[in-house]
Structure 1
Amino acid sequence: MIAAWFNQLPRRQILSFAMAAIALHLCVFFWLNKVQSKAETSTLKESKVQIKLLKPDQPAIENKIETVKTSPRQAADDVKKIVTKTQKPAQAVPFQIADNNDENATYQAASGYLAVTPAAKSDTGNTGAKELSEGAASIPANNKEVPKEMHSSAGEAPDAPKKVIDPDTPNLAQFMSTPLPSAQLKLQLVRTEPNKSPYYGVGEINWQLTDDRYTMTINAGLDLLVTTLNLFKLKSEGKVSQAGITPLTSSEVRRNRSETAIHFNHIDNTLSFSSSNKTQRMANAAQDKASVLMQLAGIGYADPAQFTSGQEIIIQVAEEREATTFRFVIAGQEELTTKLGTLMTWHVVRPPRAGAYNSQLDIWFAPAVNWYPVQIRNTETNGAITTQIVTKIIPTTVTER
């Protein structure tokens, strides 16, 4: 009966009844949801109240609650306070890298510079100072002086000088060097490259010494059928003294390139380069690419005892555009077979150095023939090797040593 009456109603009224029913259902749904949320909130509050009302006579639960309340940061601060009160920090002993001319310094052959460790006060409990004293010869990080406040910790006067030199500082001041007698060295040149046939050529070193002046030239070229193709020519001129060779000018000419020149200004201690139009500070006993060979040879010529295996010789060498610190290591003695016969030589190596020079330079000096360089080898990073080995020595004056 209700259905028949409902069917007789207009569609507008039917739609209104349907919307009213939907609205009523929604109201009931939201009301129930609100009642449920209130019930959950009430339950949570009751649980919190229960935690707060726990009796203090329960040791296990009490310890657990205490652990939660203590943060890791607070615990670390408490430990730090305890350590600060019970342990005194060790006073470090400053180290000193000595000047090259310091007679009391001990030379470190492995690093190539001088080191002096000040005497520390006797303190058995100060382990930190002992460790620093034992490692005082480590490489300095910069070229700054040690702060004055550190001097008193070593028991020295506050104004005591503390010098720290750069590990690249040349150490030639501690070596005696005597210029070699004049001579002309004829060399055979061989260049090998990976997966290629070797190239053959000739080289020549002319060393002329007149009173206190010297002139040195190095030429290299490739052998052709009827002539020689010149590759490069180095020339160095300067003076000599008890310290050895002192270049004044240096020039280089390479095939299909313009000549470049380097000027050594010993008044201002500067180097100037024609190819880069810049000026650079000149270090003590700086050399060019040609004269460095004779300066190394002059160290052994002056006193063979100065050549010992593992010894490092540090030299600033001026090249085309800038000066670079070369670190030479005396590898030891080797027998070398040449057209002059079998020679006992000293092998000196300049290992590759990232950021400075990537090739390796090997030089063999022969004491039996006035310490002349009888073999020179350059090994490049791509595997190419250029070797120059002596075939003839023509001395201007014969000197027996």
Structure 2
Amino acid sequence: MPFVLPLLGLAVFAQGTSEFMLSGLLPGIARDLHISISAAGSLTSAFAVGMVIGAPLMAMLSMRWSRRRALLAFLVAFLLVHVLGAVTTHYGVLLATRIVAALANAGFLAVALATATAMVAPDAKGRATSVLLGGTTMACVAGVPAGALLGELWGWRSAFWAVALVSLPAVLAIWRSVPAGRAPRFAEGGSGTRGELRALRSPRLVVLLLLGALVNGATFCAFTYLAPLVTDVTGIGAGWVPAVLALFGLGSFVGVGLGGRLADTRPVPLLVAGGTALLLGWTVLALTAGNPVAALVLVFVQGALSFAVGSTLVSQVLYAATGAPTLGGGFATAALNVGAAIGPWCGGAALTAGFGFRSPLWVSAVLTALALVLAGVAHGARRRTVRRGAPSAQDAPA
């Protein structure tokens, strides 16, 4: 693996930390800026919306630049808005920095996925993807707790400064290691944005994006409401909640590594077995959440399975989108964030309906079951199409 890839992963780590760390900083932000907790919470919503909208739009914008220029522009913008966020005393300015940071994050991840897979062998996209997404999992394990600790010790602004500082080594690595020339365009039937958009019409690619959204929705539905589950159902004290969240993050790190090893050579067995195990795991966790030992073991296992399957789906999107190397990464990023937004909303709706703290786990099971049904229907459609006329791999559904 090229040396620059772990440093791109470091940038993704900083961005993942920025995306998730506000959950531990909202009270301090609300006190300092004299706003309500709900207003402070909208900072998280603004970031999520920016990621969903920004991924394809920023990917299209970046196609006018070389990959090095695009990565530097997005990462420097991300760094600078965190500096601005760390010094501002105005809520409106802070809200604007979160939107810009999300747009920069989305654009960076889309181009980084295309860059990483272009710098490795054609059959190593899964390993390259796992290096980048490993940064997100490490943000859950270490970045978010560290941000919360900094907020407790030196105030919420110190966490913003830390994110900016962690981004600096990646800026230098990109400047020195990513080629300055424009990336070649492989889109069938043309080049640039129109050619890549035509390449994205593949039914197989659409199915993979939907699967990614469903699996990630299940993941973040459960993760978002993990704290009340373990305190109110499992009976673990509130002081242990950070450790439980870190346990899920540690499992996700292991899962990304597993996905990276198998995604290039045995993606279908991993997705079939992993998806089935995910459905079983969410169901068993919902049934046994009152048992602390079972709950803790399954928190780790589900974190590993979720990210093994999720990272493999991302790598398969990139394999399917060879004609759209930049927009493929952008749409993969958008699909994951759509899932990350819809999943917690569905879990919250179940809680509001009065179904209890186990209900988000059942929602995760339903979303996973929908993904398996979709995959089965797509596979059946592909087999019927093959019997009729043997289509190309680009046109066949997953």
Using the size of structure 1 for normalisation, the TM-score is 0.23
Using the size of structure 2 for normalisation, the TM-score is 0.23
The structure carrying a bigger strand percent of its residues is 1
Higher relative contact order (CA 8 A, sep 6+): 2
The structure carrying a bigger helix percent of its residues is 2
The higher radius of gyration belongs to 1
